[in-house]
Amino acid sequence: MNPPTTATLSIPIAWQFQPGVPDAQPALGVAGEGRIASEAPIHEPRAATRNACKVCAPLGACVVFSGIENCVPFLHGSQGCATYIRRYLISHFREPVDIASSSFSEEDTVFGGARNLRLGLANVAGQYTPQAIGVATTCLAETIGEDVPRILAEHGAANSGGPELVPVSTPAYAGTHVDGFHRTVRRVVEHFATPTPPHAGINLLPGFVSPEDLRHLKELVAAFGLPCTLLPDYSDTLDGASWPEYQRVQPGGTPTRAIRRMSGARATLELGHTLLGSGADTAGRWLHQTHQVPRMPLALPIGLRETDAFMAALGELAESGCPDDIQRERGRLVDAMVDGHKYVFGKRAALFGDPDLVIGLCSFLDEIGVRPVLCASGTRQAAFEPAIREVLDHSEADDLQILTGADHARISEVAREVRPDLIFSSSKGYPLARELEVPLIRVGFPVHDRIGGQRLLHVGYRGAQRFFDLIVNTILERRQDRSETGYSYL
Partner 1 sequence: MINVLEQRRAQIHRKGESTAPLVCDRKSVAGSVTQRACAFCGSRVVLYPIADALHVVHGPIGCAAYNWDIRGALSSGPQLHRNSFSTDLQELEVIYGGEKKLKQSLGELIDHYRPKAAFVYSTCIVGVIGDDVEAVCRQVSREKGIDVIPVASEGFRGTKKTGYQAACEAAYKLVGTGDTSSIGPCGINILGDFNIAGESWLIRRYFEEAGIEVVATITGDGRVDDLRRCHGAKLNLVQCSGSMTHLAKLLERDHAIPMRRVSFFGIEDTAAALYEAAKFFDDPGVLERTQVLVNREVGRVYPELKRYRAILEGKKAALYVGGAFKAFSLVKALKLLGMKTVLAGTQTGSPEDYALLREICDDGTVIVDDSNPVELAKFILELDPDLFIGGVKERPIAYKLGVGFCDHNHERKIPLAGFEGMLHFAREVHASVMSPVWQFVPRRAARAVGQPTRTPPTPVNHPAHAPGDGGRPASIDGALHVNSED
Interface residue list for ligand SF4 (CB under 6 A): 56, 58, 78, 80-81, 84, 138-140, 172
Distance in angstroms (rounded) separating the CA atoms of residues 203 and 317: 11
Taking residue 396's Cβ as centre, other Cβ atoms within 10 Å add up to 16
Task: List CB contacts of 41: < 8 A, sequence separation 6 or more.
Answer: none
Asked if 210 and 300 count as a contact pair (C-beta separation under 8 A), the reply is no
Q: Is 105 in the site for partner 1 (CB under 8 A)?
A: yes
Using the minimum distance from each CB to ligand SF4, give the nearer residue, 75 or 433. Answer: 75
Distance in angstroms (rounded) separating the CA atoms of residues 389 and 472: 24
For partner 1, the binding residue among 131, 137, 176, 465 (CB under 8 A) is 176
Q: Shortest Cβ distance from residue 109 to partner 1 (Å)?
A: 5
Task: List CB contacts of 96: < 8 A, sequence separation 6 or more.
Answer: 90, 250
Q: Shortest Cβ distance from residue 185 to ligand SF4 (Å)?
A: 18
For partner 1, the binding residue among 91, 159, 196, 480 (CB under 8 A) is 91
Q: Is 416 in the site for partner 1 (CB under 8 A)?
A: no
3-state secondary structure at position 88: helix
What residue 13 binds from ligand SF4, partner 1, none (CB within 5 to 8 A, per partner kind)? partner 1
Q: Shortest Cβ distance from residue 65 to ligand SF4 (Å)?
A: 15
What residue 328 binds from partner 1, ligand SF4, none (CB within 5 to 8 A, per partner kind)? none
Phi, psi of 117 (to 5 degrees): -65, -45
Q: What is the DSSP letter of 227?
A: -
What residues between 250 and 269 interact with partner 1 by CB under 8 A?
Answer: none
Around 270, how many Cα atoms within 13 Å sit in the side-chain half-sphere? 25
What residue 88 binds from partner 1, ligand SF4, none (CB within 5 to 8 A, per partner kind)? partner 1
What residue 338 binds from partner 1, ligand SF4, none (CB within 5 to 8 A, per partner kind)? none
What residue 490 binds from partner 1, ligand SF4, none (CB within 5 to 8 A, per partner kind)? none
Site string for partner 1, 65-84 (x = CB under 8 A): ---------x--xxxxxxxx
Q: Is 312 in the site for partner 1 (CB under 8 A)?
A: no
Site string for partner 1, 29-58 (x = CB under 8 A): xxxx-x-------xxxxxxxxxxx-xxx-x
Using the minimum distance from each CB to ligand SF4, give the nearer residue, 140 or 406. Answer: 140
CA dihedral sign, ordered 135, 139, 141, 143: positive
What residue 452 binds from ligand SF4, partner 1, none (CB within 5 to 8 A, per partner kind)? none
Using the minimum distance from each CB to partner 1, give the nearer residue, 97 or 258. Answer: 97
The type of residue at 216 is H
Q: Shortest Cβ distance from residue 279 to ligand SF4 (Å)?
A: 24
Asked if 454 and 212 count as a contact pair (C-beta separation under 8 A), the reply is yes
Q: Is 235 in the site for partner 1 (CB under 8 A)?
A: no
Backbone torsion region of residue 117, taken as left when φ is above 0, otherwise alpha when ψ lies between -120 and 50, otherwise beta: alpha
Q: Shortest Cβ distance from residue 79 to ligand SF4 (Å)?
A: 6
Asked if 337 and 368 count as a contact pair (C-beta separation under 8 A), the reply is yes
Q: Shortest Cβ distance from residue 424 to partner 1 (Å)?
A: 19
Number of chain positions touching partner 1 (CB under 8 A): 108
Q: Shortest Cβ distance from residue 80 to ligand SF4 (Å)?
A: 3
What residues between 458 and 487 interact with partner 1 by CB under 8 A?
Answer: none
Q: What is the chain's length?
A: 490
The dihedral formed by the CA atoms of 307, 310, 312 and 313, expressed in degrees to the nearest 10? 180
What residue 461 binds from partner 1, ligand SF4, none (CB within 5 to 8 A, per partner kind)? none
Distance in angstroms (rounded) separating the CA atoms of residues 436 and 439: 9
Phi, psi of 420 (to 5 degrees): -75, 160
Q: Shortest Cβ distance from residue 242 to partner 1 (Å)?
A: 5
Q: Is 343 in the site for partner 1 (CB under 8 A)?
A: no
Taking residue 386's Cβ as centre, other Cβ atoms within 10 Å add up to 14
For partner 1, the binding residue among 70, 102, 137, 169 (CB under 8 A) is 102
Question: Distance between terminal CA atoms of the chain?
Answer: 38
Run of H or E residues at 100: strand 100-101
Using the minimum distance from each CB to ligand SF4, give the nearer residue, 55 or 265. Answer: 55
Q: What is the DSSP letter of 424?
A: E
Partners of 276 in beta bridges: none
What residue 472 binds from ligand SF4, partner 1, none (CB within 5 to 8 A, per partner kind)? none
Q: Segment near partner 1 (CB under 8 A), from 86-94, 206-214, 281-289, 311-319?
A: 86-94
3-state secondary structure at position 268: strand
